[in-house]
């Protein structure tokens, strides 16, 4: 059964409602799940919300386009928004509270505190979007302090973000379990993203080069390539789509996000490897990745969830 979620716009009211929920339930039913988003929700977000509703007595969704995680020339001003549709999707997933703060509510005074996570932010989007993960870590730390959830749900579509938030929660003793969820895709393989609406028909068609190249990763790793060779193979495959401009195509260990030693076949690496892409189509920047366990690639070429 679904009912309309309550919309809350202030930190004080959100805290009051969560406290009242916790007081009203025996401790074993009082778990709070939290899904932070920037809105313009799609099935990827819905998968996180459904998981939280399944696992917890109360689910809080936040929708906040966080200005401090956008660079000066990024898409902050044109980031798509549709509050009404988002609330309807939240209702259909069984969300209890939707937190929709203004920028003023989240940043009421000049901010002199920043949460900076090092090392896991050195590569990938951390390198190509300077300051981005400072903005992410800071807003996620604030939201986790505001909501104080038992569990918070993040999508592996943004695998580096999962690594950053997990490490931050460990380092700062934040008592929230960080739960990572698999990437939801369109039927043809394109990873769902709020930014997909920016693509014109031709770009949408060529955007399949991301998932298509990633689908060959297990085969290439099985053949014995090292990280630089895999990077080259991915770039060559993506560049078959003439509109694609590759920002990065890399394999790193996961969750430490360290570059494997060049010359070492990826298939000999213990543990997980993240193969991550960022590709531009015109002004639209898309990311996608696969997380896999190379030791299993030769056996049944299966991707780790």
Where does this chain bind ligand AMP (CB under 6 A)? 37-38, 44-45, 47-48, 154-155, 157-158, 181, 183-184, 191-194
Question: Which of 106, 227 has the CB closer to ligand AMP?
Answer: 106
Residue 132 falls in the annotated catalytic set: no
**Burial environment of residue 5 by CB neighbours within 10 A (0 to 12, 13 to 18, 19 or more):** buried
Least CB distance to ligand AMP at residue 155 (A): 2
Least CB distance to ligand AMP at residue 169 (A): 14
Question: Which of 40, 220 has the CB closer to ligand AMP?
Answer: 40
Name the residue with tokens 């956008």: 70
Q: What are the DSSP E strand ranges found in the chain?
A: 6-8, 32-37, 58-63, 97-99, 151-155, 177-181, 244-254, 272-281, 284-292
**How far, in Å, CA of 32 to CA of 6, rounded?**
15
Question: Which of 37, 213 has the CB closer to ligand AMP?
Answer: 37
Helix axis angle, 11-24 to 132-147, nearest 10°: 50
Q: Which of 297, 294, 300, 244 is nearest to 272 (CA)?
A: 294
Question: Which of 87, 181 has the CB closer to ligand AMP?
Answer: 181
Query: Are 147 and 11 within 8 A, CB to CB?
Result: no
Least CB distance to ligand AMP at residue 35 (A): 7
Catalytic residue from among 42, 45, 132, 300: 45
Least CB distance to ligand AMP at residue 62 (A): 9
Residues tagged active-site? 45
């Amino acid at each position: 059964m679904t009912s309309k979620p309550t919309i809350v716009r202030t930190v004080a009211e959100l805290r009051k409602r969560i406290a009242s929920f916790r007081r009203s339930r025996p401790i074993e039913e009082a778990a709070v799940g939290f899904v932070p988003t920037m809105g313009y929700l799609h099935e990827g977000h819905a998968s996180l919300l459904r998981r939280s509703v399944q696992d917890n007595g109360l689910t809080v969704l936040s929708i906040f386009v966080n200005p401090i995680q956008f660079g000066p020339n990024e898409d902050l001003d044109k980031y798509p928004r549709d509050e009404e549709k988002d609330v309807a999707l939240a209702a259909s997933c069984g969300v209890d509270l939707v937190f929709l703060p203004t920028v003023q509510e989240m940043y009421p005074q000049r901010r002199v505190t920043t949460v900076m996570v090092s090392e896991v932010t050195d590569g990938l989007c951390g390198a190509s979007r300077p300051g981005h993960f400072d903005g992410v870590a800071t807003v996620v730390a604030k939201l986790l302090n505001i909501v104080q959830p038992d569990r918070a749900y993040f999508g592996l579509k943004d695998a580096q973000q999962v690594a950053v938030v997990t490490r931050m929660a460990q380092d700062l003793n934040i008592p929230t379990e960080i739960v990572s969820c698999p990437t939801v895709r369109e039927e043809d393989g394109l990873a769902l993203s709020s930014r997909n609406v920016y693509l014109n028909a031709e770009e949408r068609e060529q955007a399949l080069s991301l998932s298509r190249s990633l689908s060959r990763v297990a085969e290439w790793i099985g053949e014995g390539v090292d990280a630089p060779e895999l990077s080259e193979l991915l770039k060559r495959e993506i560049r078959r789509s003439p509109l694609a401009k590759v920002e990065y195509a890399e394999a790193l260990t996961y969750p430490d996000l360290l570059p494997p030693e060049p010359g070492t076949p990826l298939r000999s690496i213990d543990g997980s490897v993240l193969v991550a892409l960022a590709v531009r189509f015109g002004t639209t920047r898309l990311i996608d990745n696969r997380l896999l366990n190379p030791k299993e690639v030769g056996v049944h070429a299966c991707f780790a969830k």
